[in-house]
Amino acid sequence: MPATSPPRPMPPIAIRAFSATTALGHGVEAQAGALAARRGGLRRNDFGPSPLPTWIGRVDGIEDAPLPEALAAWECRNNRLAWLALQQDGLREALEAAVSRHGADRVALVVGTSTSSIGASEEGYARATVDAQGQPCFPPDLQRPMVHTLHSLGDFLQHATGVRGPCMTVATACSSSAKVFAQAARLIHAGVVDAALVGGVDTLCGSVLFGFNALGLVSAEPCRPFDASRDGLSLGEAGGFAVLERAAPDEDGLQLRGYGESSDAHHMSAPHPEGLGATLAMRDALARAGIDPGAVGYLNLHGTSTPANDAIEARAVAALFPDSLHASSTKGWTGHTLGAAGIVESVFALIALRDGLLPGTLNSATPDPACGPQIRFDHVQRPTAWAMNNSFGFGGNNCSLVFGKGGAA
């Protein structure tokens, strides 16, 4: 491992509101209810004109929820899901309160995605037509340049919320919406802003379904994270957000307490064989939180259910944490929501802190031999002071987050 010294502890960041919308339903209570009841959201793939034989985590209701007319220029599946997710759990009220306290120019917007609204571009190619000069062109309803570029998501949310601080779309594949917490925390700590809307949105599209299929990473069955017989992932779509604000000294409530980011420096689509990057990210997140590994009560794993990821992540966790850690993958419920996985699984970690619901792993029965005692398939109900989330992406891009409660130390 490189000889970089761990970072110093960081000041806490308050979480004023948080929410996720996934195949389990819209908002936090739908997530918590489905987790507690072990009710998964995966269905047989019914997305697109020629669905591959796999299972997907599809969000219900997107087709029936057009954007408000004032935002129609950003119309597409991904921005619809962003809008739907933003209406949940008091997010907008918390954001408006932050804007009124600090001013719109003191609130940042940092959102993650893997493919943004590329589904609209795919549709433009599939429904291509010709213009008056006989040249190929997009159909008229898709001749909107902003939905055919990555910042579609950030630009849409900036117009939808009126936030005027720094605004960026982070796209580091499947770590995207975990890294937004780190980037927003830096903007707050550096004094650029006082608060931020962070989150991520990714929707099902041909690129990811057929792309992951081409890599041989998609299972024909519902995914089985950490199971000895797992054979690939199930793709999903999701959106979620959190409103972050500089925490006052000694305030209580849920907080972001640490982040760690690293690179594998190994391969574009395969994890480092010894999990070095993952270990570095977890180590730095714990160091910024100022806690020992033994303090963590729940760790939401990246746990994609691919043969390589889960074995390597399990070994890295076993090397860093005591046997008492309760760690699990929740991708059996939602599928792998790619650029939204960071926010969705951070919300699951926050549910663990709020309710003491430490979820197990769905669809899995026989642990992979690489699994240490930390990897749990069954739920436990137990109050915990600290929860973590791991998100790892293509390019060997890793991010770990530590959440805690104000006053906890």
| Active-site residue set | 174, 302, 336
Structure-block tokens of residue 156: 């849409």
Kindly report the number of other CB atoms within 10 A of residue 330's CB atom: 28
Let me know how long the chain is. 409
Applying CB under 8 A, the span of 34-42, 259-267, 352-360, 372-380 interacting with another protein comes to 259-267
**Side chain identity at residue 5, one-letter code:** S
Size of the site for another protein (CB under 8 A): 79
Among 18, 156, 212, 377, interactor with another protein by CB under 8 A: 212
What is the footprint of another protein within residues 213-252 (CB under 8 A)? 213-216
Per CB under 8 A, does 102 bind another protein?
no
What is the footprint of another protein within residues 302-361 (CB under 8 A)? none
Per CB under 8 A, does 101 bind another protein?
no
Nearer to another protein, 264 or 310 (CB): 264
What single-letter DSSP state applies at residue 144? -
What is the footprint of another protein within residues 368-407 (CB under 8 A)? 393-397
Q: Are 180 and 200 in contact (CB under 8 A)?
A: yes
What is the footprint of another protein within residues 18-77 (CB under 8 A)? 50, 52
- CB proximity list for 125: less than 8 A, separation 6 or greater: none
User: For the CA atoms of 272, 276, 278, 284, what is the dihedral angle to 10 degrees?
Assistant: -160
What single-letter DSSP state applies at residue 318? H
What is the footprint of another protein within residues 105-134 (CB under 8 A)? 105-106, 114, 118, 121-122, 124-126, 128
| Tokens 């054979």 -> residue | 231
Chain centroid to Cα 360, Å, comes to: 18
Phi, psi of 241 (to 5 degrees): -145, 160
Among 36, 73, 168, 370, interactor with another protein by CB under 8 A: 168
Per CB under 8 A, does 276 bind another protein?
yes
Nearer to another protein, 22 or 158 (CB): 158
Q: Where are the alpha helices (DSSP H) in 37-151?
A: 77-86, 91-102, 118-126
Q: How far is the CB of 193 from another protein (least distance, A)?
A: 7
Q: How far is the CB of 194 from another protein (least distance, A)?
A: 10
Q: Are 312 and 271 in contact (CB under 8 A)?
A: yes
Among 138, 241, 333, 348, interactor with another protein by CB under 8 A: 138
Nearer to another protein, 35 or 217 (CB): 217
